[in-house]
């Protein structure tokens, strides 16, 4: 019995300590809004969010509703509820398409996806969305002061996607899936043509193709060593000053030697 009484007392005290409880009981929307504004200014966004949500029906259709909704959307953002914030920024743009804040909301909506972008080894759906939406923002608002930051975010997203793809290509190589690795490294070159690691990607595709040729059955060796030779020659044309040029030259020589050996062996096999 004493334990039950103590629990009840603790519950009463906890309820009484919550500053928003008394405010929420008020029937005065103006009072609630003032308190919401006060909490927002003091960065107590959890309280502000609850109060804005409470009073929005009272101010819908008035000139003050836009500002209330604007701050309500930001409470979700500041509370790191980025999924909800994205939806609120989107709704703001739909409800107030001609607002002076429309550009800001467009940017913030894209930014919420960037904030949800995970580490490179995880699923990059939000990274792709952030990059696409930021690029759309730049195209839609060519004179925006936010474009420099938007461009930096596009670059950061692209770098993260490149890192994920590079790690996948390396993993294929490490586990002996050489053909898949070579294709993945070639895709890196095509998907990220401005990368400062293009010569590495080309070199690794050559290395993977060479290992793949080494493992091939006799009927496929000529075709696959020829692919290595072709890739090596392309590398020398495109990256003559690369630090990988010496190693590429070695793969070229090895592959040419293999092709000569195969050509020499074929007449013997035919006569046999």
- CB burial of residue 105 (10 Å; 0-12, 13-18, 19+): buried
Residue with tokens 């909800």, as numbered in its chain:
84
Residue 258: inside a domain: yes
* C-alpha triplet 202, 208, 209: angle, nearest 5°: 90
Cα distance between residue 7 and residue 14, in whole Å: 10
- CB burial of residue 164 (10 Å; 0-12, 13-18, 19+): middle
Residue 189: inside a domain: yes
* Secondary structure letter of residue 166 according to DSSP: H
pLDDT of residue 264: 82
Task: Say whether 96 sits in a helix, a strand or coil.
Answer: coil
> What is the tens place of the pLDDT at every residue in 66-104?
999 999 999 999 999 999 999 999 999 999 999 999 999
Q: In the predicted model, what is the mean pLDDT of the chain?
A: 93
Residue 59: inside a domain: no
- CA separation (Å) from 134 to 52, 77, 115, 126, 155? 29, 17, 13, 12, 10
Residue 51: inside a domain: no
125 in Cβ contact with 95 (< 8 Å)? no
Where are the extended beta strands (E) located within 204-262? none
Residue 4 has pLDDT above 90, yes or no: no
Number of domains in the chain: 1
At 187, which CATH number? 1.20.58
Residue 126: inside a domain: no
Domain extent at residue 227:
176-263
Q: Dig out the tokens for 245 from the structure.
A: 């040029």
> What is the tens place of the pLDDT at every residue in 248-258?
999 999 999 99
């Amino acid at each position: 019995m004493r334990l039950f009484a103590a629990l009840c007392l603790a519950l009463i005290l906890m309820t009484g300590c919550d500053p928003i409880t008394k405010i929420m009981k008020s029937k005065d929307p103006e009072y609630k809004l003032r308190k919401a504004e006060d909490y927002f200014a003091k960065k107590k966004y959890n309280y502000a969010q609850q109060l804005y949500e409470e009073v929005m029906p009272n101010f819908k259709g008035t000139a003050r509703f836009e500002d209330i909704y604007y701050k309500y959307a930001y409470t979700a953002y500041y509370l790191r509820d980025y999924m909800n914030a994205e939806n609120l920024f989107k709704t703001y743009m739909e409800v107030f398409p001609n607002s002076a804040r429309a550009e800001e909301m467009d940017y913030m909506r894209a930014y919420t996806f960037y904030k949800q972008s995970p580490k490179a080894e995880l699923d990059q759906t939000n990274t792709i969305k952030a990059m696409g939406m930021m690029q759309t923002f730049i195209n839609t608002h060519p004179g925006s002061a936010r474009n420099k930051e938007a461009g930096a975010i596009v670059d950061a997203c692209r770098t993260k996607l490149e890192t994920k793809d590079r790690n996948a290509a390396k993993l294929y190589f490490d586990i002996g899936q050489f053909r898949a690795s070579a294709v993945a490294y070639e895709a890196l070159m095509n998907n990220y043509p401005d990368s400062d690691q293009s010569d590495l990607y080309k070199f690794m595709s050559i290395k993977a193709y060479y290992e793949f040729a080494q493992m091939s059955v006799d009927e496929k060796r000529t075709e696959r060593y020829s692919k290595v030779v072709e890739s090596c020659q392309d590398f020398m044309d495109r990256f003559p000053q690369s630090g990988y040029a010496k190693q590429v030259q070695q793969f070229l020589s090895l592959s040419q030697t293999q092709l000569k050996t195969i050509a020499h062996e074929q007449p013997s096999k035919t006569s046999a």
